[in-house]
Amino acid sequence: MREKIKKTGLLLSLLVFFLSSASWLLAGGDLLIKNATILTVTGNTIPNGDVLVINGVIKQIGQNLTAPAGVRIIEANGRYLMPGIIDTHTHIALSGTNEGTDAVTPEVTMAEVVNADDTSIFTALSGGVTMVHTMHGSANVIGGTNVVLKLKWGKPSEELIVKEAYPTLKFALGENVKQSNRTLLPGRPQRYPATRMGANALIRSELMRAKDYMAAWDRYEQQKKSKNPPANLLPPRKDLRLETLADLLRGKLIARCHAYVAPEMIEFLNLSREFGFKIGAFEHAWEAYKITNELKAAGVGISVFIDSWAYKMEAAEGIAYNAAYCTQKGILVSINSDSGERIRRLFNEAGKAVKYGLTQDEALKLITINAAKQLGVDRLVGSIEVGKQADLALFSQHPMSAYTRCEMTIIEGDVYFDREALLKERAAASTKKGGLL
Amino acid sequence: MNKHFKKRQPASVRPLTTAFLILVLVASSLSLAQAGRAEVKPAYALVNCRIFPVAQPVIEKGTIVIRDGLIEAVGPAGKIQIPEDAELIEASGLNAYPGLISAHTNLFLETKEQSQTATPEEYLEALSQPAEPKEFPWLQIVEKIKPKKQTVEAYHRAGITTVVVAPHEGIFQGQSVVLNLNSDQVSEMVLAQPWALHINFTTERGVYPSSPMGTLAFLRQKFYDTQHYSQHLQKYRQSPQFLKRPEYDPFLEALLPFVIDKKPIVFQCNNLEEIKRALKLIKEFRLNAVLTGCNEAWRVSQQLKSASIPLLVTLDFRPPASSVYAQQGQAIREKAEKEIYPANASNLAKEKINFSLTSFGLNDTNFVKNLRAAIKAGLPADQALRALTIEPARTLGLDKQLGSLEPGKIANLILTKGELFDEKTSIVKVMVDGTLFTYEEKGQ
Amino acid sequence: MKIKNMKVNRIKPGLLKNKNQLVFLAALLGLTLLGIYSFPLPAAAQTEDRTEVVAIVGARIVPVTGPVIESGSILIKNGRIADLGANISIPSGAKVIEARGLVAYPGMIDSYSWLGLEEISGVRATVDNRETGRINPQVKAIEALRYDSMHIPIARANGIVAAVVAPSGGLISGQSTLVKLDGWTNREMVIKESLAMIIELPALRRGRGEFAGFRGQQPQVTTEKTLDELRQIFEKARMYEKRREAARKNILLPPPDFDEASHFLLPVVKGELPVIFSVHADKDIHQTIKFVQEEKIKAIFYGVEQGFKVAKEIKEAGIPCIIGSLYSLPPVWEDGYDALFLNPVILNQAGVKISFSSSSASTAKDLPYHAAKAAAFGLKPEEALKAVTIYPAEIFGVDKLMGSLEPGKTASIVLADGDLLELGTKIQKVFIDGKEVSLENRYTELLKKFEQREADK
């Protein structure tokens, strides 16, 4: 009996997957959300507010709005509407995580290995997450370039990529890179770098190589343009690894650096000054509270957990006050999940920041506008404002409450997660033969 | 026996016997050497069969004349004169089709099943060895094949008379060969050698590249390096003075014909994303490419249509691990394998995309079973036939010799009792290069 | 001889020279004794506070087992709740704690944690929760419990006053303990030294269940086989005891050699020591219920991710369920994305006694949020609160001592500035057994240290 219920349910979920890729069946980017408690994030909270979305863009915010005929109306009934949650550090929706063989692999491009079939996308949507910065892992000192995706479940992979986001290059320091928590197999040598000083030296040497590479190309270009280019003129070998590092030096990429302990961050800031490259944020940054002055002065933000700590030595001095304290010190802070499980309760993680010193409004920013700013997409998303893309999430209670749950997740006016519809589907499947679930 | 021989032979006669034996040996070796020339294949005339020429409409009752391994004539019964030296094969009640071509197999290769049988200790032992990359762009797979008679027979029973044997290890796997399944002698079987360079979107283990994104960067870098190498070589040939000599690189040397001279490259795509990744590389480096695998091709049909690249579509319906259908529990995976993936070919057909079908990933029995399932799922039978005859022939550049029953083409054909793709149909006779193989009807 | 005589000769005359001196001595003794009884000597730091009379006044009181008192007081005497109500009399001399604007709750009980057994999970030297081998009924969590773990003050500062500390791993992991989160040594923390035997049945396997890199070599052990194995182990223990009993009665009978496993499993097979079964799939839960009934042992279930499918059966069997961490993905995709959250709701609605656990050391403080998560998906908020207070107390047989605010129970009380299960709530005070415990912890220490950097400027 349960098998039959299961099978019908499975058929239905398959159907839902197919239908969601047939955009003609959805609202097509037009919605009118009525009577919501609108948490705009950058402005005041609007009780009993309406949001009109046309062609995936927020057209109007107010009270008693009307929509053109045919536009789907969503009755919020006082529920809380917030901007879609942005997770600035994940590894979902990718065919691989680490090119862990070499310590320097900037040539690998995560944008080329997006996997839109990853069910983690659905899991994230069920937690109100609409956008992710999905990255190369932290196995290497220099990993690869990352990609920002909108979680349009059911759409082809190329439609998920957010082209407007800052192009970023993953760096990592500390224990993962040193492989210090791994058992070395006999016959396999310890990979360089085995120390934090080796990691920094490696970055320096690679960037110097990149500089040489850029100089070689400059020389070639000069010679080619000259009146009598030499007969034996041959372009330098195109090296994808050094090309990417050259882009970092040229300012075409910004660094996102996984660092836990304070000296790692201080020294990486020094490297960035030495070579003139930009840092987008420090990932995890468990000891950021120790160096708020340095971070503030450098204008570098952090993307952190709230209280998942003590799993490695370098996380042993992480404190749950980190996010709140750094926010209070004027640092741009976002909360991330770095996990296909935590991503669906990212809003709870941000909610904990209230206990550690922030207001609910400030905590809400940690997973919306702050994240958007760090990714360079704050013109497009991160708050509920007229003109921004309609990436929204509807919650049963205030998203910073422990008692809330995500009811609906909308990306550019299309509904990608609808709990009510899901429950109806389940009820239909189970009433056929009776049963609890 | 020795005792007996000793008794009979007096000592004086022994040298004579030895000389006689030597003579016999020499004579027989001579005849063996001339076997190809000495052995005469009969001319055949298949009469009264229902012929599916593929290039022309069905001939209800026709004649096919075969001589010296080639089709001499094909036509309706009345119109074709039967030569007097032809051996008559009564084929009334039988259907004649061109022999099927499976343009992607790993036939006759010894595969290492180590990952299946390793114990934890062996596995750790293997992990402890310094890892070495396994890349073989120079590999001519024809050197590795060990044909077996049973396999040839099994494939005949599935209706297959021509196969591409492709290498199967590494990212740059090596170069494939086209074989006619006319015997178990490699020298007789080779039709085209080499055919194409095969590339698979897989990874190395323990060495670079060990991830999908690493593999893509690795491929791209190799293609750039080949271009640079070629540039350097060219320049050095034109004017070597004052120019640093290009360093000999066997890897890049092996890639030159394919990346620079545009010989065919086959990309193995195991899911829809790999198809997209292949198309991107093909466009970027303007490669002469073919895609194989393509089990999720229907999900990228628009891009495939505009790319207009030959497709070798597998009939292996198992959903890849990356697929959304493989991540939602056993029931959905099984359902997808039974209902969604078999419709791949029919969906492509609906989009008017040309493709070949292959037996890649399957044995002969499953190939037939899955072929029937694909037709049941909506692929028209005549398109299925073309996808196993003229389409692969075209893709292999052998459409002047294979893929249809036309005069001048190689005599590869199959005679069936029943419609080719029906459940109860059996293949009674197979002809490859004019050699006739008769099979007993299997009780099905 | 000489010395004795000398002694007697010296002392005797000096002491009882005259009757007056005797009377004086007697009076001195009497007064001393009086003093001892009126002014008890402080034996140790804890007991000092316990004899104090403390009154928490003006708080909103949530007793859990009774109606909420909007504004009331709690009187603490000798470490116990002496009285509580809207209008109770507060004896003079009582230490008054002004609690207007605060809410008083019973302290929370974590039904499964590794507090004190794990400091930094990635550093093996600091991890003691998992012994090697399959059968380890002899190991006792209390004997490894590191009472000055940095995670204990953090959990305590969030309102958790007691926790089950459990070993894990293998089949029979060992004996869990119930401790209060206060004490100068592990022994001072003990509420129940040996709370329950931990037995772990096979987990629900997600994915292909392959050991990365090679396939098919690890046979999947089924629960059925595991229960068979347990049956044999229990039977062996009974046999062992029979023979030992017989040998005790008859000196001629040789007693069996010491069998470690049988010896330490005896309290289990005798039905004295309950077993916490870590069990997950619905079929496995069903089989385990049968096993428990056949073996006639006391049982508690832990994990029970698919308990919702057999809720009625669990209810009829009368087996309480400790819900595993809700910081997890549903092991079976087909059950739905919210299956893990709905599970405790359905169990509770079916009448099963549930409690929540942190299943952690470093995030043990999150116990209330697991309960709130279930409430977000339909569990009544009052039930959610009970599932971290009175229900675990009942499950572990300490409900006469703790789990609610009632006169007679121990004064383990939490004063919060809001809903105890809410994320933003700040805990202002925690009392354990009547003693106000410090809320300083690793987080606050490090924060204060680096706040100093600003001050130093």
How far apart are the C-alpha atoms of A251 and A276, rounded to whole Å?
8
User: What residues pair up with A283 in beta bridges, in sequence order?
Assistant: A258, A303
CATH of the domain at A436: 2.30.40.10
Contact C422 A403 (CB under 8 A): yes
Q: Chains that contact A by 3+ CB pairs under 8 Å?
A: B, C
Which of A100-114, A215-229, A423-437 comes out lowest in average pLDDT?
Answer: A423-437
For residue B356, the SS3 value is: strand
Chain B nearest CA to C214, separation (Å): 5
Are the CB atoms for A232 and B241 separated by under 8 Å? yes
Q: Which residues of B63-88 are buried (b: 16+ CB within 10 A; e: fewer)?
A: bbbbbebebbbbbebeebebeeebee
Shared domain for A27 and A58, answered yes or no, is: yes
Contact C309 A325 (CB under 8 A): no
Size of chain B in residues: 444
For residue B128, the SS3 value is: helix
Measured between beta carbons, the chain A residues lying within 8 angstroms of B222 are: none
Shared domain for A74 and A106, answered yes or no, is: no
> How many other CB atoms are there within 10 angstroms of residue A28's CB atom?
15
Closest chain A residue to the Cα of B240, Cα to Cα = A232
Contact C216 B116 (CB under 8 A): yes
Measured between beta carbons, the chain A residues lying within 8 angstroms of B204 are: 101
Shared domain for A69 and A112, answered yes or no, is: no
Contact A437 C308 (CB under 8 A): yes
Alpha helices in B142-294 (DSSP H): 149-157, 186-189, 212-238, 250-259, 272-285
Under 8 Å CB-to-CB from B73, ≥6 apart: which residues? B63, B64, B65, B80, B81, B407
Which of A105-119, A359-373, A419-433, B250-264 comes out lowest in average pLDDT?
Answer: A419-433
- Specify the pairing of strand A142-145 against strand C354-356: unpaired
Distances (CA, A) of A103 to A200, A246, B440, C251, C431: 12, 17, 62, 72, 52
Q: What is the mean pLDDT of residues B301-319?
A: 96
Are the CB atoms for B221 and A107 separated by under 8 Å? yes
Q: What is the number of domains present in chain A?
A: 2
Q: What is the mean pLDDT of residues B386-409?
A: 97
Contact A117 B324 (CB under 8 A): yes
**How confident is the prediction along chain C (457 residues), in pLDDT tens digits per residue?**
444 444 444 444 455 556 677 767 666 666 656 555 555 443 444 444 456 899 999 999 999 999 999 999 999 999 999 999 999 999 999 999 999 999 999 999 999 999 999 999 999 999 999 999 999 999 999 999 999 999 999 999 999 999 999 999 999 999 999 999 999 999 999 999 999 999 999 988 654 433 333 343 445 689 999 999 999 999 999 999 999 999 999 999 999 999 999 999 999 999 999 999 999 999 999 999 999 999 999 999 999 999 999 999 999 999 999 999 999 998 899 899 999 999 999 999 999 999 999 999 999 999 999 999 999 999 999 999 999 999 999 999 999 999 999 999 999 999 999 999 999 999 999 999 999 999 999 999 999 999 998 776 5
How far apart are the C-alpha atoms of C135 and C174, rounded to whole Å?
8
* pLDDT given for residue A113 in this prediction: 97
How far apart are the C-alpha atoms of A416 and A425, rounded to whole Å?
15
pLDDT > 60? residue B387: yes
Distances (CA, A) of A331 to A282, A296, A348, B273, C89: 11, 6, 21, 39, 51
Shared domain for A53 and A115, answered yes or no, is: no
Q: What amino acid is encoded at B325 in this protein?
A: Y
Closest chain B residue to the Cα of C206, Cα to Cα = B329
Q: Where is the domain boundary, A381, A405, A424?
A: A381
Contact B213 A112 (CB under 8 A): yes
Contact B331 C334 (CB under 8 A): yes
Contact B213 A144 (CB under 8 A): yes
Shared domain for A255 and A162, answered yes or no, is: yes
pLDDT averaged over every residue in chain A:
93
Shared domain for A394 and A331, answered yes or no, is: no
Shared domain for A59 and A183, answered yes or no, is: no
* pLDDT given for residue A13 in this prediction: 57
Contact A185 B124 (CB under 8 A): yes
Residue of C102, C381, C441, C357 lying closest to A356 (CA atoms): C441
Chain C nearest CA to A92, separation (Å): 14
Helices (H) and strands (E) in chain B, counts: 16, 18
Question: What does DSSP assign to residue C376?
Answer: H
Contact A101 B331 (CB under 8 A): no
How far apart are the C-alpha atoms of A423 and B246, rounded to whole Å?
67
Minimal Cβ distance to C120: which of A313, A319, A396: A313
Which of B192-201, B346-355, C4-13, C249-258 comes out lowest in average pLDDT?
Answer: C4-13
Q: What amino acid is encoded at B332 in this protein?
A: I
Measured between beta carbons, the chain B residues lying within 8 angstroms of C334 are: 328-329, 331-332
Closest chain B residue to the Cα of C216, Cα to Cα = B116
pLDDT > 70? residue A167: yes
Helices C282-295, C223-249: inter-axial angle, 10-degree rounding: 20
- Name residue, tokens 């429950």: A423
How far apart are the C-alpha atoms of C191 and C175, rounded to whole Å?
14
Measured between beta carbons, the chain A residues lying within 8 angstroms of C377 are: 405
Q: Where is the domain boundary, A336, A351, A381?
A: A381
Are the CB atoms for A168 and A155 separated by under 8 Å? no
Are the CB atoms for C410 and C433 separated by under 8 Å? yes
Distances (CA, A) of A212 to A209, A268, A271, B228: 5, 21, 17, 19
Minimal Cβ distance to B331: which of A6, A116, A157: A6
Minimal Cβ distance to B329: which of C211, C217, C332: C332
B75: its two tokens: 């036509």
Number of inter-chain CB pairs under 8 A, A vs C: 113
pLDDT above 90: percentage of residues in chain B: 81
Question: Considering Cα of A123, then A126, then A132, then A137, what sign does the dihedral take?
Answer: negative
Are the CB atoms for A111 and A67 separated by under 8 Å? no
Catalogue all structural domains in chain C, each as residue range(s) with its CATH number.
36-106+404-457 (2.30.40.10), 108-208+217-402 (3.20.20.140)
pLDDT > 50? residue B114: no
Cα torsion at B164, B169, B173, B179 (round to 10°)?
-20
pLDDT averaged over every residue in chain B:
90
Minimal Cβ distance to B322: which of A117, A136, A232: A117
Residue of C453, C390, C441 lying closest to C151 (CA atoms): C441
**pLDDT tens digits, one per residue of B139-151:** 999 999 999 999 9
Question: Considering Cα of A9, then C221, then C210, then C330, what sign does the dihedral take?
Answer: positive
Contact C329 A341 (CB under 8 A): yes
Contact B123 C215 (CB under 8 A): no
Measured between beta carbons, the chain A residues lying within 8 angstroms of C346 are: 436-437
Shared domain for A238 and A324, answered yes or no, is: yes
Chain B nearest CA to A218, separation (Å): 18
Peptide bond into B194 cis (omega under 30): yes
pLDDT bracket for residue A243 (50, 70, 90): very high
Chain B nearest CA to A9, separation (Å): 10
Chain B nearest CA to C225, separation (Å): 23
Are the CB atoms for C396 and C177 separated by under 8 Å? no
Helices C339-349, C367-376: inter-axial angle, 10-degree rounding: 80
Q: How many CA atoms lie within 13 A of C418 on its CB side?
A: 11
Q: What amino acid is encoded at C235 in this protein?
A: E
Q: How wide is the angle at C-alpha B243 spanned by C-alphas B242 and B247, nearest 5°?
A: 145
* pLDDT given for residue B1 in this prediction: 44
Measured between beta carbons, the chain A residues lying within 8 angstroms of C113 are: none
Closest chain B residue to the Cα of A110, Cα to Cα = B213
Between B270 and A12, the more confident residue is B270
pTM: 0.89
Radius of gyration of chain C (CA): 27
Minimal Cβ distance to A401: which of C122, C363, C423: C423
* pLDDT given for residue B119 in this prediction: 74
Measured between beta carbons, the chain C residues lying within 8 angstroms of A308 are: 362-363
For residue B317, the SS3 value is: coil
Shared domain for A188 and A331, answered yes or no, is: yes
Which residues span the domain enclosing A103?
Answer: 85-381
How far apart are the C-alpha atoms of B46 and C89, rounded to whole Å?
116
Are the CB atoms for B182 and B435 separated by under 8 Å? yes
Q: What are the phi and psi torsion angles at A291 (to 5°)?
A: -130, 40
CATH of the domain at A144: 3.20.20.140
Which residue out of A10, A95, A122, A179 would a mutagenesis test of the B interface target, given it has the greatest number of B Cβ atoms within 10 Å? A95
**Contact with chain C for residue B187, Cβ under 8 A:** no
User: What residues pair up with C435 in beta bridges, in sequence order?
Assistant: C432
B325: its two tokens: 């259908």
* pLDDT given for residue B441 in this prediction: 62
* pLDDT given for residue C9 in this prediction: 45
Which residue out of B123, B124, B204 would a mutagenesis test of the C interface target, given it has the greatest number of C Cβ atoms within 10 Å? B123
Shared domain for A50 and A137, answered yes or no, is: no
pLDDT bracket for residue A144 (50, 70, 90): very high
Residue of C441, C120, C362, C452 lying closest to A289 (CA atoms): C452
Q: Where is the domain boundary, A381, A410, A428?
A: A381
Shared domain for A114 and A37, answered yes or no, is: no
Residue of C225, C368, C396, C371 lying closest to C300 (CA atoms): C396
Q: What amino acid is encoded at B98 in this protein?
A: P
Q: What is the mean pLDDT of residues A14-41?
A: 70
For residue C452, the SS3 value is: helix
Measured between beta carbons, the chain A residues lying within 8 angstroms of C452 are: none
Chain B nearest CA to A95, separation (Å): 7
> How many other CB atoms are there within 10 angstroms of residue A47's CB atom?
11
* pLDDT given for residue C206 in this prediction: 55
Distances (CA, A) of A111 to A116, A214, B160, C47, C178: 11, 24, 41, 64, 51
Which of A377-381, B174-178, C219-223 comes out lowest in average pLDDT?
Answer: C219-223
Residue of C307, C310, C332 lying closest to C322 (CA atoms): C307
Chain B nearest CA to A373, separation (Å): 27
Measured between beta carbons, the chain C residues lying within 8 angstroms of B127 are: 213
Q: What is the mean pLDDT of residues A157-170?
A: 97
Closest chain C residue to the Cα of A121, Cα to Cα = C337
Shared domain for A339 and A399, answered yes or no, is: no
3-state SS string for chain A: CHHHHHHHHHHHHHHHHHHHHCHHHCCCCCEEEEEEEEECCCCCEEEEEEEEEECCEEEEEECCCCCCCCCEEEECCCCEEEECEEEEEECCCECCCCCCCCCEEEEEEHHHHECCCCCHHHHHHCCCEEEEEECCCCCCCEEEECEEEECCCCCCHHHCECCCCCCEEEEECCHHHHCCCCCCCCCCCCCCCCCHHHHHHHHHHHHHHHHHHHHHHHHHHHHHHCCCCCCCCCCCCCCHHHHHHHHHHHCCCEEEEEECCHHHHHHHHHHHHHHCCCEEEEEECCCHHHCHHHHHHHCCEEEECCCCCCCCHHHCCCCCCHHHHHHHCCCCEEECCCCCCHHHHHHHHHHHCCCCCCCHHHHHHCCCHHHHHHHCCCCCCCCCCCCCECCEEEECCCCCCCCCCEEEEEECCEEEEEHHHHHHHHHHHHHCCCCCC
C interface with B, Cβ–Cβ < 8 A, is 211, 213-217, 332-334
Contact B329 C333 (CB under 8 A): yes
Q: Which residues of A406-429 are buried (b: 16+ CB within 10 A; e: fewer)?
A: bbbbbbbbbbbbbbeebeebbeeb
